[in-house]
A and B are shown apart, each in its own frame.
Chain A
């Protein structure tokens, strides 16, 4: 009998706990879906303290995984961080809410260069978060020549020391750029040329990798690698100063990761509050200092250059306007994706 009483008491406690925690649900919630290691988590705590909104934070690994999850309709994210060409696709598929910029006064700090870009021409759906370029990482102790062209990735002198990216758009884009074409080209002749070059290049390079590239560069397994400026900054902040980054003169890809509000969101107001919070110059500075990527927030960016003058001359953080002008943003392939897919498979097989 005593046991049953204890059991009943236990049930009572659990039920009351559930009721109490249920009451807590009244507190508003913000569901965020972001890349791994792409935010200073102290900022999340700060936001929770300032607003009383509870942040639920989840991570994704690639744009495609994120898109699949949102498309399946099984999620209720309020704020997502996709890259440029994915935003274009999401807009065309009617997956995004228009953002009410009246709720985001801090948008004024966003550098003009990152407004109204091709993927969101009227800038109604997205707010830039971080930006960067695609370029060449090289070990300056082994590669003594001046690195300023994609052609070094095809230089026989470096056979077996080159790493390419296991990323379809980037790798094909580089071959297109070296030939003087747009990296958004859908011209079959230009793409065929790029394919041939990339197949020939397979005899020279040591594989298509993504996450492993940084370690292999630091270990000396490779001396030249195609990679993003963010990785270069990561390596720099880790202290491997002999590994440098070059943005080739032929031009490259400029990428912008943004904050968007998917249609599945039930807390649009809270999402806009968070966007405004992240655009506050102090918060943006704290975030760029922590993550290491370049921020589109002009005030935070200038403060970064002031406090870390050495990054001013680095292509990875602050490329010259002349080079940036030659860079292009990726445009969604739409129906041409199939052609790219086929090409990419052929490159990898032969």
Chain B
């Protein structure tokens, strides 16, 4: 029986091999070579692409990407935790509806939602027209870092709320009652009991938000007007306009390593590996 179950895993192993391992190896090879991509025999070993990266120009881009991703993740946490708390505390019959309200927007295409924010934030957009209507001066949010952060928070917030909500709703009511019985008030219960129990959810929420935020290129292109070049944009440009696949591959590897390092930090903080992390 056990062997049969193993057999079922093979399609997935094949899938991983073809669509994850092979491309990763290709990226790794491109990053350590130079020459014509389309002529494998012309490729020679080279560290040129990595050498090129250690330049104040590119380090600046990396720093800006991490800064914006960090701010967005932090805002997602601040906004998302209370939302998760409210949903988990809601009566059973409203829970489904509240969750649905939260999930419906993600069913819409990501690009479409970002274009919608362009229409809201642009100089002649919804917000500015509203401000004009009530006689206030208009705001110049888009293009700019503020607009990019707004776009990131909006698009990635559900990834923060869902894992936290899952962990919250799994907390045993008896534990909370025990805390109350032992004389803890609501605030103490939250600080000493609820919050520590939700740390795994927070950790997986942070990773789920931070990873797409640090590598996004669509949001920064559309809401940043191409003036806020992030590492994702830089990589995208290497493969399209600038046609330097070697440098693009090296950048991807560097970004991957940076993300892995930050993930390692996170999982160290997350002693209890079950819970929210299992959701993803």
Contacts and interface: CB of A to CB of B under 8 A. Distances in A.
B91 interface: no
B61 A160 contact: no
B57 A349 contact: yes
B88 to A, nearest CB: 40
A313 interface: no
Interface string B211-233: 00000000001101111010001
Contact of A207 (B61, B226, B241): B226
B124 A72 contact: no
For chain B, which range describes its interface: under 10, 10 to 19, 20 to 34, or 35 or more residues? 20 to 34
A326 to B, nearest CB: 26
A345 B234 contact: yes
A58 to B, nearest CB: 18
A208 interface: yes
Contacts of B221: 166
B227 A212 contact: no
Contacts of A221: 122-125
B123 A222 contact: yes
Contacts of B58: 345
B268 interface: no
Contacts of A65: 240
A202 interface: yes
A208 B225 contact: yes
A348 interface: yes
B38 interface: yes
Contacts of A202: 227
B241 A348 contact: no
B242 A341 contact: yes
B84 interface: no
Interface in A210-227: 212, 216, 219-222
Interface in A186-245: 202, 206-209, 212, 216, 219-222
A34 to B, nearest CB: 18
Contacts of B240: 62, 64-65
Interface string A64-79: 1101100111000000
B38 A72 contact: yes
A342 B60 CA distance: 14
B244 interface: yes
Nearest to B238: A341
B60 A349 contact: yes
A7 interface: no
A62 to B, nearest CB: 7
Contacts of B229: 345, 348-349
A168 interface: yes
B118 A207 contact: no
A348 B60 CA distance: 12
Interface in A335-350: 337-338, 341-342, 344-346, 348-349
B141 to A, nearest CB: 11
Contact of A216 (B61, B122, B224, B242): B122
Given A71-B38, A160-B123, A160-B140, A166 B226 contact: yes
A221 B120 CA distance: 11
B242 A207 contact: no
Contacts of A212: 118, 222
Contacts of B122: 216, 219, 221
B95 interface: no
A214 B16 CA distance: 42
Contacts of A166: 221, 226
Nearest to A61: B240
Contact of B227 (A62, A73, A168, A208): A208
Nearest to A70: B38
A62 B142 CA distance: 26
A349 B226 CA distance: 9
Given A221-B123, A221-B124, A222-B123, A345 B243 contact: no
Interface string B43-72: 000000000000001101100000000000
Contacts of A342: 57
A64 B123 contact: no
Most buried by A among B229, B233, B244: B229
A73 B38 contact: yes
Nearest to B242: A341
A220 B124 contact: yes
Given A222-B123, A348-B227, A341 B244 contact: yes
B275 interface: no
A-B interface, 5 closest residue pairs, ranked by CB to CB distance from nearest: A207-B225, A208-B226, A207-B143, A348-B229, A341-B242
14 contacts: A64-B241, A68-B243, A160-B123, A202-B227, A207-B227, A208-B227, A209-B225, A219-B124, A221-B123, A221-B125, A341-B244, A345-B61, A345-B237, A348-B229
Given A62-B241, A344-B242, 6 more contacts: A206-B123, A207-B224, A219-B122, A219-B124, A220-B124, A349-B57
Interface of A: 62, 64-65, 67-68, 71-73, 160-161, 166-168, 202, 206-209, 212, 216, 219-222, 337-338, 341-342, 344-346, 348-349
